[in-house]
Every structure is written in C-alpha cells, then in structure tokens.
Amino acid sequence: MCSEPQYSLIRAKLYKFNTKTIHSFTPFPLFPFPCSPMTSNSQLYQLIAQQISQRPQQQITFSEYMDWVLYQPQHGYYATRDTVIGPRGDFITSPHLGHDFGELLAEQLADMWVALGRPTPFALVEMGAGQGLVAADVLQYLQEQHPNCLQAVEYTIVEKSAALAAEQQQRLQPWLAQGIPVQWRSLDEIPPNSIVGCCFSNELVDAFPVHQVVLTEAGLQEIYVACPAGQAGESDAGKEESLRFREVVGELSTPKLAEYFECLGITLEIGAYPQGYRTEVNLAAFDWIKQVIQLLQRGYLLTIDYGYPARRYYSPARSQGTLQCYYRHAHHDDPYEHIGHQDLTAHVNFTALERWGEMWDLETLGFTQQGMFLMALGLGDRIAAISHMTVNDPVAMQKALRRRDALHRLIDPMGLGNFGVLIQNKGLTVEEKARPLKGLTVPT
C-alpha cells in the first residue's frame, strides 16, 4: 500500500553535522506518494562501468560519476522525462509553492532594468530553468505589472536537460505565440560581452557535479569511483543487486583542488580537522561563473541557492560534507543507490562565487537570505493582504490559507528563507552601484 504519507521535501531543510542527519519533512497534501521502489538504471550502470574500464586506473572521479548519473543524455536523472521536480518527483523548489516566488523575482528584475537605464534589449538569462515555472511567472508578472520592461526583454533559457527544455517550451508556448522573444541557448552559443541585463538561477549551482576529497594520513586525497572487483565493463544486466560501484581513495586528480582551498585560506590538515574529514569541491561552478562573466557586458548575476560562506561550509564539525541524495521526497547519503533515479546535490560555497567573481571584475553588490530578499520585494504585503481579505466562500478561504502557508514557507528561516541570495554586478557605473536594489534593501 502506498497512499500515505504525502510529503514534499525541500532540499535545504537538512542540517548535517558529522554523520547525524536530521530529516525534516513538510506535509504538502497534493499527490499520492509513489509506491514501488526503483532500483538503479542498469543501462546507465553499464555505460558508467564501461567508462571506468577504459580508464588506465579503472576509476573515474566522483565528479565525473555525478555528471553521468545526473546528466547522461539518455539515462541521466535530469535527462529522463519520468524524473520530475515537484510534488510528483523527488523534491520541490520555491516556484512549486505558487506564483509568488517568480513574481517577486520579476519585481527585482524590473528594478534592475530601471537601474541599468531601461536598456533595449534587456537580456534575462535564466540558467537551469527546471520545469519553466519561474520563466512563466516572470513573464506573466512583467506583462501585467511592468509592460514597458517586458517590451525590452529578451528571455534566454540555458538548460542542460533536453527533457526539461522540452517541458519549458511547452509551458512557455503562450508567450512564444505572442511573439515574446524566448530562446533556448547553451552558454557557448551566447556571444561574449553581449549581455546587458541579468543572468540568474535558482538551485542551479547545487546541481553541478562536485569532486569529493578526504583527509587521510597522507594528506588531502580524492574519492574515485570504481566497479566492484572483477566487474569493470562486464555485462551484468539483470543482476540488480550487484549494480553497485565502490569508492577508491587516491591522489588529487587536479591541482585545482588544492588551489581552491588555498584561495579560500582554508588548510585541511590533521589536527585542525579530523582524519577521515570528507567534503566536496564544486570546480564546475568555477568554469560556469567564468563563462557567465565573459558573456556579461553590463548587468547582474543573481544566484539563489542553499549554501554557506566558506568558513561555515568547511567547518571541522561538518565532517561528512553536504552531499545529499533525494529520492521520492526522502533523502539519504548513498550516491550509489537508485542510479539515474535519484538526485544528487551539494551545498554552494558562496564565498568561492564571490572570490572567483572578483577575479574577473564581477563585484558583489550584496548577499542576503531569501527570506529578507522576498520581504524586501513585497512578500510581507502579500501576507497582509491575505489577512485582510473578507472571504465567505469556504473553498476560497482554503485557497487563501494555503497561499498564506506557502508564503510563510518561502521565508521560513529553517528552510527556503535561509537560502542564500548573491547579487554580483559587472560594468555598472558608480552611480548605478550606489542605487540600492529593491531586494537588498531592509524590508519595512
């Protein structure tokens, strides 16, 4: 039987110190909980095993493994149509709580348009757009509240998953039909120095593949993924129970990993950190931010995600890192289960994004929490408006109460409200920088 319980998991509502994980579920009474447990995708397992067998040392980095299980074009978690974010999938994100998140974000984007002197075109580049919910809410809100801004908008979606891009195209059909310029591009397809506007993302950077490192007696080493002994490249379709990779510890695969910690002023050594201390490094975020900066001529990079500043991220107490697996609104620590059917994610090091930005003239304008950001953009007024509503119809009353609950969840300091919001800028004049952005002002 599988009709209960009905939960929905917000990924950042997990606080992991040492090996103890506190699960925090929030009731979200929408859809039945799926029943039959899904084992690993054996075709994906075989593809990864073949990759491993072709390597001289019969192993791949954890980052390569994570990239394959999430993004392999035919079988990866984000590539398959039956893998969905949302109440029917494995976790929900802010836009699944209604239109308010996207609308308030649109309020910030319209404010940026004004701050930049109302440029035409005004490029909005959404990276990692999931099901296209934010894009739909932003375009709808701009159409209703800021039509002049919408007239200037050129909306570009950068999406790695072909299945999700197809879903986005379907969802945005009404705007495409009206001739509103929405296009899908890879970052490589966008000309350098061409963007005047804002590049933004919600829960993108946490979805990048990460390297895993571990502190041993020999110093900082890396975690690699290998096949079970004697199995590399062998075909084992059908032997579900044996589809399990193993971890191997070895030398760092690239000097960039040691340079990363040097750049942050963090020395991972025994004494200051316990032996066996394990954590992640998101080098993909380095390549990503470098590329975005090269595309940006003038404007903003707005990043919303769960994460910490470097000192908190690499606290000795966080001895097992932040890597988490999400499967059907539950979470666990085993990335070698449910291969291709579960999400893998790691928290974001916001300090690294700031440091790397500064290397290429991307300057931090502000870092705040999602709760503060959305309140500054008017979320409090929305809650107040619901409280002052006179509703006699019980159905409408239920709807209003649900929306009020969703608004509270967006700013919950133990959940989504604690997400980081980092706004960086490139090419702004001194006057433009001095003008406070709405989302970074103190909420009244």
Query: Could you say whether residue 355 binds ligand SAM (CB under 6 A)?
Result: no
Q: Which stretch binds ligand SAM (CB under 6 A): 35-43, 203-211, 214-222, 257-265?
A: 203-211
User: Closest separation between CB of residue 78 and ligand SAM, Å?
Assistant: 4
Closest distance of CB 97 from ligand SAM, Å: 11
Pick 127 or 150: Cβ nearer ligand SAM: 127
Closest CA to 288 of 348, 224, 220, 340: 348
Positive/negative CA dihedral, 60, 64, 68, 73: negative
How far apart are the C-alpha atoms of 358 and 335, rounded to whole Å? 33
x/- map, 50-89, ligand SAM, by CB under 6 A: ----------------------------x------x----
Nearer to ligand SAM, 215 or 371 (CB): 371
Find the distance separating the first CA and the last CA of the chain, reported in whole Å: 49
Q: How far is the CB of 211 from ligand SAM (least distance, A)?
A: 16
Residue whose CB is less far from ligand SAM, 77 or 367: 77
The structure tokens listed for 227 are: 């096949």
245 belongs to the binding site for ligand SAM (CB under 6 A) = no
Of 95, 299, 307, 335, the one binding ligand SAM (CB under 6 A) is 95
Among 204, 220, 225, 310, binds ligand SAM (CB under 6 A): 204
Q: How far apart are CA 117 and CA 149, in angstroms?
A: 11
Angle subtended by helix axes 394-410 and 100-115, to nearest 10: 60
Binding mask 368-407 for ligand SAM (x = CB under 6 A): ----------------------------------------
Residues 212-233: b if buried by 16+ CB within 10 A, e if exposed: bbbbeeeebbbbbbbbeeebbe
**Distance separating alpha carbons of residues 321 and 17, to the nearest angstrom:** 8
- Interface pick for ligand SAM out of 49, 109, 129, 223 (rule CB under 6 A): 129
Applying CB under 6 A, the span of 201-209, 210-218, 318-326, 395-403 interacting with ligand SAM comes to 201-209
321: tokens are: 């890192």
Stretch that binds ligand SAM, among 177-185, 198-206, 262-270, 413-421 (CB under 6 A): 198-206
Among 40, 202, 221, 351, binds ligand SAM (CB under 6 A): 202
Q: Which stretch binds ligand SAM (CB under 6 A): 45-53, 110-118, 157-165, 416-424?
A: 157-165
Q: Tell me how far apart the alpha carbons of residues 224 and 213 are, in angstroms, rounded to a whole number.
A: 9
- Closest separation between CB of residue 356 and ligand SAM, Å? 16
Question: Is the Cβ–Cβ distance between 220 and 213 less than 8 Å?
Answer: yes
The 343-345 sheet, strands edge to edge? 330-332, 324-327, 343-345
Element (H, E) at 47: helix 42-54
Q: Does 158 bind ligand SAM (CB under 6 A)?
A: yes
Maximum Cα–Cα distance for the chain, whole Å?
Answer: 71
Toward ligand SAM, which CB reaches closer, 52 or 85? 85
CB of 66 to ligand SAM, least distance (A): 11
Q: Checking DSSP bridges between strand 20-22 and strand 122-127, what pairing results, if any?
A: unpaired
128 is an interface residue for ligand SAM by CB under 6 A = yes
Restricted to residues 208-237, the positions that interact with ligand SAM (CB under 6 A) are 208
Distance CA 53, CA 48 (A): 9
Amino acid present at 181 = P
Residues 313-352 that bind ligand SAM (CB under 6 A): none
Q: For residue 235, count other CB atoms closer than 10 A to its CB.
A: 11
With CB under 6 A as the contact rule, the residue among 207, 214, 411, 422 that binds ligand SAM is 207
Whichever of 202 and 303 has its CB closer to ligand SAM, that residue is: 202
Fill in the amino acid letter for 330: A
Binding residue (CB under 6 A) for ligand SAM from 67, 203, 280, 305: 203
**CA-based nearest residue to 47, from 28, 69, 16:** 69
93 lies in the site for ligand SAM, by CB under 6 A:
yes
| DSSP 8-state class, residue 436 | P
- Residue with smaller CB distance to ligand SAM, 63 or 161: 161
Q: What x/- string results for residues 159 through 178 when contact with ligand SAM is judged by CB under 6 A?
A: xxx--x--------------
CA distance 123 to 302: 13
DSSP tag of 93: -
**Which of 203/222 has CB closer to ligand SAM?**
203
Token pair 């690294």: residue = 352
Q: Could you tell me which residues come within 8 angstroms of residue 433 by beta carbon, excluding any fewer than 6 positions away?
A: 363, 365, 425
Binding site for ligand SAM (CB under 6 A): 78, 85, 93, 95, 127-130, 134, 158-161, 164, 202-204, 207-208
